[in-house]
Amino acid sequence: VTETIGIPTVSDILDELEKPGRDPRKKMDFFRFDENIKTMEDLKEGAVLPGVITNITDFGAFVDIGIHENGLIHKSNMAKAYVSHPSEQVSLGQHVEVKIIAVDIPGKRISLSLLTD
């Protein structure tokens, strides 16, 4: 017990610890990359894959699709309407489904789209 942590705080903590199985944190979404994709050579144009937004720039968003190279969703491939900045459509850490538009193996570039239909 200190000046900032009093008896009521310690009592509250002890009360909560006596309730096993209750977790006040929100539930985490389960996420798994496509296990069949291990290298760029496994990527096929038109395939739809799960991914996670790892970086957002003025021109698009980078997506981790479970291999060493990240893919890029250009802002023109994020929505059917005009997108002035990618942050209007996606956020860091967001789970997305992306469609592979193009794969440039020598250049190590993967072009993606949020428009999967």
What is the spatial distance between Cα 101 and Cα 84, in angstroms, rounded to a whole number?
Answer: 21
- At 19 the pLDDT is 78
Span 77-81, mean pLDDT?
95
Interval 100-112: pLDDT, tens:
999 999 999 999 9
Give the residues across from 75 on adjacent strands: none
Domain ranges of the chain: 27-113
- Look up the CATH architecture of domain 27-113: Beta Barrel (2.40)
Structure-model confidence comparison of residues 36 and 14, the more confident one = 36
- At 11 the pLDDT is 83
Interval 19-64: pLDDT, tens:
777 766 777 667 899 999 999 999 999 999 999 999 999 999 999 9
What is the spatial distance between Cα 21 and Cα 9, in angstroms, rounded to a whole number?
Answer: 21
- At 88 the pLDDT is 95
What is the spatial distance between Cα 18 and Cα 8, in angstroms, rounded to a whole number?
Answer: 15
- Assign 1 a pLDDT band (cuts: 50, 70, 90): low
- At 26 the pLDDT is 73
- Assign 8 a pLDDT band (cuts: 50, 70, 90): confident
